[in-house]
Amino acid sequence: MEFRRKAAGIGVCVIIALASQWLGSQFPLVGGAVFALIIGLVLAFFIKDSYVLDAGLAFTSKKILQYAVILLGFGLNLGVIWETGKQSLPIILATISTALLVAYLGHKYFAIEAPIAILVGVGSSICGGSAIAATAPVIKAKDEEVAQAISVIFFFNLLAALLFPSLGKILGFSTQSGQEFGLFVGTAINDTSSVTAAASTWDNLYQLGSQTLDTGVTVKLTRTLAIIPITLVLAILQAQKARSSQSDFSLKTVFPTFILFFLGASLFTTIWTGLGYSQAIFAPIKDLSKFFITMAMAAIGLKTDLLHLLRTGGRAILLGASCWISITCISLLLQYLLEMIG
């Protein structure tokens, strides 16, 4: 009976996700998750009574989103990522800290709502949609806030993917090796699809094979691991807030247990590959994770008032621009100071 109540909403999300995944394969710079969000937002404008869908949409936007984050852990080999990504660690830590500071200042002095500030901050600094997906349940963000943050992050990802290859040429990045530009896009662009697009463009422009792509994606995966400490810190802050406002406080109500499963999946992958087995076995699981995220974005879109989103999105866009510019400048500055740019 419970599943039957949710089936209609889940079914609609599956259909939108299938169409969005196909669109994403045709336009990889945009990606399936963004297409799903857009389709959901447009359909919600025409659906006046979504009562029959509500239970399924709520389940998809919350639980399916958490399952997606757990499955994301499969395929993350912690040892390999650490060995190949530790060179970029000072820049990664600096860009994450910068984005979170900018987000905090935006909340403190420009009256940007705390959930929006947090989501845009972690989305800009860590790994775009995946970080937002992991953070939203921890801070109990509303679907509309998630949709707004995803939209802002996508916009600046698109700009970065289009502009950064030209910017790299102007700034004098090496065209003989992909190491320098790969490090730059891996630390300054947050979404994997946009990192891939910018890095591949550089490789194609200067016939570098996959040098830039390999470096950029590895650095990007290193940043992904920051999901774990960030969400745990946010959970502690939520716990303190809950403790001060209610006497019957329970850590279980705010602790993001799904992040522990995410870490467990990463550890399993690390041990599996350490024993000499192929990591290719996890490819279908990673694909399922992406599909679940696409489903969740469809549900969030279907539950969001598009007109209200457009009316209230100005400050979020300003915050996203501030985070994006700050991260780009810090990444470039540290690469020059650490003599990573020749």
In a domain, 320, yes or no: yes
**pLDDT digits 0-9 by tens, 204-231:** 888 888 788 878 877 887 887 788 888 8
CA distances from 106 to 5, 79, 101, 145, 204 (A): 41, 36, 9, 15, 38
pLDDT value of position 252? 54
State which residues form the domain around 151.
74-283+307-337
Q: Give dist(CA 178, CA 74) in Å, integer.
A: 27
Model confidence, pTM: 0.75
pLDDT value of position 110? 84
Is residue 194 a contact partner of residue 160, using CB atoms and an 8 Å limit?
Answer: yes
Fill in the DSSP letter of residue 139: H
In a domain, 220, yes or no: yes
pLDDT value of position 154? 80
Q: 3-class DSSP state for residue 128?
A: coil
- Domain total for the chain? 1
pLDDT value of position 184? 92
In a domain, 116, yes or no: yes
In a domain, 25, yes or no: no
In a domain, 299, yes or no: no
DSSP string for residues in 5-74: HHHHHHHHHHHHHHHHHHHHHHSTTT-HHHHHHHHHHHHHHH-S--HHHHHHHHHIIIIIHHHHHHHHTT
| Stretches in the chain below the pLDDT threshold 50 | 247, 249
**pLDDT digits 0-9 by tens, 129-141:** 778 888 888 888 8
In a domain, 8, yes or no: no
Instruction: Give the tokens for residue 321.
Output: 């621009």
DSSP string for residues in 175-211: SS-SHHHHHHHHHH--SHHHHHHHHHHHHHHTT-TTH
pLDDT value of position 49? 67
In a domain, 132, yes or no: yes
Nearest to 12 by CA among 297, 304, 309: 297
Cβ-Cβ contacts under 8 Å for 7 (sequence gap 6 or more): 56
Backbone angles phi, psi at 313, to 5 degrees: -90, -5
pLDDT value of position 153? 86
